[in-house]
Structure 1
Amino acid sequence: MHSIDRATGRLHRDTLAFDPAARLWTPAAAPAEPEPAGPEAALSWLQRRSGHPVRPPVGVIGPNEASAEVLAAAEAVGRVLGRCGLTLLCGGRQGVMEAASRGASAEGGLTVALLPGADPAQANPFVAVPIATGIGEARNALIAQASLCLVSVGDSYGTLSEVALGLRLGKRVFGLAGAARIDGVRHLDGADALAAELADLILN
């Protein structure tokens, strides 16, 4: 469990303190009055208060058409990213992309979209930064390359291609709500488990 030392503004774990610039844990005296910090609070500290936030966005991928269950999972993923202070990157259209963008924006998160077409107006209304690539489905490769990691919600042929690209690039890929069950994808029971996985990736 992490804790925050309000007196020094540092993130601690037992007798270690996190150096956000070097991304390393270093020996340090335990805080006198530690404030317990779960994964979301620890990541929020890093992103909003440390002075050295993680810049690469988290890519959220999934089908344009999805069930209510999948869309709810995507929105929950977006909300986690928003609360953690992490930027969401997606394809910017409807379905999983819109649901995740809606969740992130509801929590004050930044949403960025790499659109397949040349018109930024094609972005869903919850995208803050629409980037009209004009390169069609080739933008899938850009999403995989630009992302710190990928969160796959649901499944489709297009989503599967992004999962494969992410794995080939050595990115960590998380799966929820029926994501493709292939080697390399870490399947989660729900969005609540995502914050802990992201904290493990970013803080460890």
Structure 2
Amino acid sequence: MSLAFDLESNLIDLRSARIFSPANRVWDELDTIPGELVPVSETDAVTRLQQQSGRCRVPVGILGGRKASEEQLADALALGTLIAQMGLTLICGGRQGVMEATCKGAAEAGGICVGLLPDENPGAANPYVTIPLATGIGVARNAILTRAALCLVAIGGSYGTLSEIAFGLQFEKKVLGLSGAPNIPGMLPCRSPKEAAARIARVVLNLPQ
């Protein structure tokens, strides 16, 4: 592992001799690397930084349809849990299927789920949404969701998911694909929720993929 915390809880990148600034998510040069360090993974680093300051308040976007396979629902549930465990907020369409599964995983892990609903009724949100936002603008909310997210993870794929992927790539967001997501140039495929969580952590830490 190339990341480690020093005794003052500063995150250090050992490969490039840089120190992370959580306030603006940038890495600054270090003259010398401290002697006593505790190595951490990317996800553990984000978890600790969020516990210390909670500065990464931009949500992670989850894309997926109301109809999904058992594998996709299981991956969505697991990823929602991992996102919440890192102390990150989740944003999605707020309805059923992949959206409900990922909200359930996050909610049961104590996380916050923002549901950006296409209709005017906040009661249409799945029961695990923490903050339902009833936009009343239909599928146009797909553009808002992708613009608002720090990065995006597509699980499976339908026409709505495809449009969100396209918006995400157009907005130059990192878009990850999981569990049968469309293989579109520019997306980053992930083999498991754990790999997707590690890639999300690298986005938060402003590290290359």
TM-score range, shorter chain: over 0.9
Q: Is 1:2 the counterpart of 2:28 in the alignment? A: no
Structure 2 portions without partners, runs of 5+: none
Structure 2: which amino acid aligns with 1:33?
A: E
Give the conservation status (yes or no) of the 8 Å contact 1:19–1:26: no
State which of 64, 67, 84 in structure 2 corresponds to 1:65. 67
The gaps in structure 1 that reach 5 residues or longer are none
| Equivalent-residue separation in structure 1 for 2:200 and 2:31 (angstroms) | 24
| Aligned residue among 25, 28, 42 for 2:28 | 25
Partners of 1:95 and 1:28 in 2: CA distance: 50
Query: What does residue range 1-204 of structure 1 map to in structure 2 within 5 Å?
Result: 1-5=2-6, 7-14=7-14, 15-22=17-24, 23-27=26-30, 29-49=32-52, 51=53, 53-203=55-205, 204=207
Note closer, same or farther for the CA distance 1:95–1:72 as it changes in structure 2 (3 Å cut).
Answer: same
1:21 Cα deviation (Å)? 2.3
Give the Cα–Cα distance (whole angstroms) in 2 for the partners of residues 52 and 103 of structure 1.
20
What one-letter code is carried by the residue in structure 2 that aligns with 1:42? A
Tell me the percent identity: 44
Equivalent position amino acid for 1:162 in 2: E
Distance in 1 of aligned mates of 2:43 and 2:5: 12
- Distance of 2:125 and 2:54 partners within structure 1: 30
| Residue-by-residue CA offset, 1:54-74 (whole Å, 9 max, x unaligned) | 222111010101110010011
User: What value does the CA root-mean-square deviation take over the aligned residues?
Assistant: 1.5
Amino acid at match of 2:94: G
AA aligned to 2:146 is A
Scaled by the length of structure 1, the TM-score of the pair is 0.93
SS of structure 2 residue aligned to 1:70: helix
**d(CA) in 1 for partners of 2:31, 2:194:** 30
Scaled by the length of structure 2, what TM-score is found?
Answer: 0.90
Q: Given that residues 82 and 109 in structure 1 are in contact (C-alpha distance below 8 angstroms), is that contact kept between their aligned partners in structure 2?
A: yes
Q: Do 2:77 and 2:103's aligned partners in 1 also have CA atoms closer than 8 Å?
A: yes
Number of residue pairs aligned between Structure 1 and Structure 2: 202
Which residue type is aligned with residue 12 of structure 1? I
Separation in structure 2 between the aligned mates of residue 81 and residue 151 of structure 1, nearest angstrom: 11
1:26 to partner: Cα distance: 2.7
Please give the secondary structure, in 2, of the residue aligned with 1:102: helix
Separation in structure 1 between the aligned mates of residue 32 and residue 128 of structure 2, nearest angstrom: 44
Q: Residues 178 and 196 of structure 2 are in contact (CA less than 8 Å); yes or no, is this contact kept in structure 1?
A: no
